[in-house]
Amino acid sequence: MTADARTAGMPLLVVLGLVCQEAGAAVAVNLMPDVGPWGVIAMRLAFSAVVLLPLAVVSLRRGGAIHWPTVVAFGVALAGMNAFFYLALERIPLGITVTIEVLGPLVLSVVASRSWQGLLWAALAAAGVILLGGGAHDLDLLGVLFAAGAAVMWAAYILTARAAGAAMPGVVGLALAMVVGSVLTLPVAGAVVGAALLQPHALALGLAVAVLSSAIPYGIELSALRRMKAETFAILLALAPAIAALAGLVLLDQRLTWAVAAGIGLVTIAGVGAVISAGRRAVPASEEAVVDVMMDEADQGPSSRPDQGSTALD
């Protein structure tokens, strides 16, 4: 296969990565009756840490120091994002959860655009949220609040991830943040779930969640970002709400009303538009995307990284 053919196929691979992420979320929903949301949260973070730590060791051997305050802030944001997401997923459908959650990076993209078009996309997203609320009268309010918390923590995650990428090489920041997240969530999971957390069946499904939600998308997206523009990549990631809704329908039989489906569609369109408006300032919309940016910056050398004080809105 020629290089041009591989490049042309990258968008499909990115979509495949999104499908894997939502499939991992569907597995998590099926695992929750056994270990609850806290068990899923702890296992995803712990298994992801195990996968990423060897890569971090390689980066540290090439030189570089650990900036612990940034690591802790990054880990708290990561743990909070995952905690709110899976707590919401226990109560409301996957498509609605992801749609509300993606409002966090969407707001950052709107701010990064610094243009009137950004306000247009924000208004479109607001209309989508109104449709979500009006079309799903039986939505669990606490679940909606958890999803909103996930949106806030996703925005915090992006900002702390950028700081970690500026302060530390490669995937060091993310790997250590996964460890911090595990330290924060494993005791809670142990207290809430107990011995069920160590059942072979639960551990196998927990590993599947981590592989589908992190490892496979990370590998796909790492390859894609080396062959396509970051803006194009971010646009594809903005399709997450629509893909999550389809995954919920196919894998979990979570049927949506036409109003809710329209709301998800509007938020998806707003996400794509906001990324286009932001251009090169577009905010990565997934943890894998942030890792890829970090690794790309590390490969290019320290001179290509932003100053340590920079944020996603620089």
Give the tens place of pLDDT for each residue, 26-71: 999 999 999 999 999 999 999 999 988 888 888 788 877 889 999 9
If one counts the domains in the chain, the total is 1
What's the CA gap between 273 and 87, in Å, rounded? 29
Cβ contact 303:237 at 8 Å? no
Residue 12 has pLDDT above 90, yes or no: no
Q: What percent of the chain has pLDDT over 90?
A: 46
Domain assignment of residue 312, yes or no: no
Whether 314 is covered by a domain: the verdict is no
Amino acid at 264: I
Burial code of 271-303, b = ≥16 C-beta within 10 A, e = fewer? bbbbbbbbeebbbbbbbbbbbbbbbebbeeeee
Encode pLDDT of 133-186 as tens digits.
Answer: 776 667 899 999 999 999 999 999 888 988 888 888 877 888 899 999 999 999
246 falls within a domain: yes
For the stretch 186-201, pLDDT in tens is 999 999 999 899 999 9
pLDDT at 214: 83
What's the rounded Cα separation, in Å, for the pair 120 and 275? 12
Q: Which amino acid, one-letter code, is at 89?
A: L
Domain containing 94 equals 12-304
Q: Using alpha carbons, select from 263, 218, 214 the residue that is nearest to residue 93.
A: 263
What per-residue confidence (pLDDT) applies to 184? 96
Chain mean pLDDT for the chain = 82
Please compute the mean of the pLDDT values over residues 214-241 and round it to a whole number: 77
Where helices occur in 168-309 by DSSP H, the ranges are 172-193, 200-210, 216-225, 230-237, 240-252, 258-278, 287-300
**Which pLDDT band, with edges at 50, 70 and 90, does 108 fall under?**
confident
Backbone angles phi, psi at 310, to 5 degrees: -75, 160
Q: Is residue 6 part of a domain?
A: no
Task: Provide the pLDDT for residue 2.
Answer: 57
What is the predicted pLDDT for the residue at 171?
Answer: 79
The whole-angstrom separation of Cα 180 and Cα 129 is 33
Question: d(Cα 103, Cα 271) in Å, to the nearest integer?
Answer: 8
189 neighbors 35 (Cβ within 8 angstroms): yes
Higher local confidence (pLDDT), 263 or 226? 263
In a domain, 169, yes or no: yes
**pLDDT tens-digit map of 207-223:** 999 999 988 887 776 67
Angle at 132 between CA 131 and CA 134, to 5 degrees: 60
* Residue 30 resides in a domain: yes
Q: Which residues of 67-103 are buried (b: 16+ CB within 10 A; e: fewer)?
A: beebbebbbbbbbbbbbbbbbbbbbbbbbbbbbbbbb
- 21 Cβ neighbours under 8 A, 6+ residues apart: 212, 213, 217, 240, 286
185 located within any domain: yes
Q: How far is CA 128 from the centre of its chain?
A: 20
pLDDT score of 281: 54
Q: What is the pLDDT of residue 241?
A: 93
CA torsion 123-126-132-134 (nearest 10°) is -90
What is the structure's pLDDT at 311? 30
- pLDDT at position 7, please? 62
**Residue in 246, 306, 313 with CA at minimum distance from that of residue 108:** 313
pLDDT in tens, 291-310: 444 444 434 443 333 332 33
123 found inside a domain: yes
The 3-class secondary structure across 155-206, one letter per residue, is: HHHHHHHHHHHHHCCCCHHHHHHHHHHHHHHHHHHHHHHHHHHHCHHHHHHH
